[in-house]
Structure 1
Amino acid sequence: MDRLMAAHRAAHAKAHGLISAAMSGWVGGAASALGSESTEWQGHSKHVENESTHYRDAFDQIGYAFAGMEEQTAVSILGGRPQAKA
């Protein structure tokens, strides 16, 4: 997940930089429209990054929870002994 997030950040930073550079030569309504869309696209990029961070953290928590459950199950199996019949 971290590599995917880093790739996302790098690609979107590059794209947003190219858009910003292109906007400097635009004027009037076209410049305004591109500026508005650029702001919206940056918001979408940030949302994707926030969601990715959330799922990365959630998957980490799930992994630790399963590891803990497996460890506890192993302890229970090893610690449990059937009672001998008299």
Structure 2
Amino acid sequence: MSIDPYHSLLTHLANCSDSTAIGVLFSALLTDKEQQEIANRIRIFDLLAHGMTQREISEQLGVGIATVSRGAKVMQSHDVSALLATHRQNAQ
């Protein structure tokens, strides 16, 4: 029987009791650059939700316009409101 590793990852993340445990896991799974790219994706969502233009976001974060456009496309097809609420709560 084959186990889906992605499902195993999601189950493990759901069972993590705190952000430190998730941080340790992300450090083991992702390079520093990959972690930064994920963080930038969340920032892109937030700035788009605040009405900033894609070009302004590109310049502010130092990422390509294609990166911002991909983030905008994801926001159109996925509800990221819970993620943004957590992001904004942690920013205070």
Normalised to the residue count of structure 2, the TM-score between the two structures is 0.28
Structure number with the higher helix fraction is 1
**Larger Cα-atom Rg:** 1
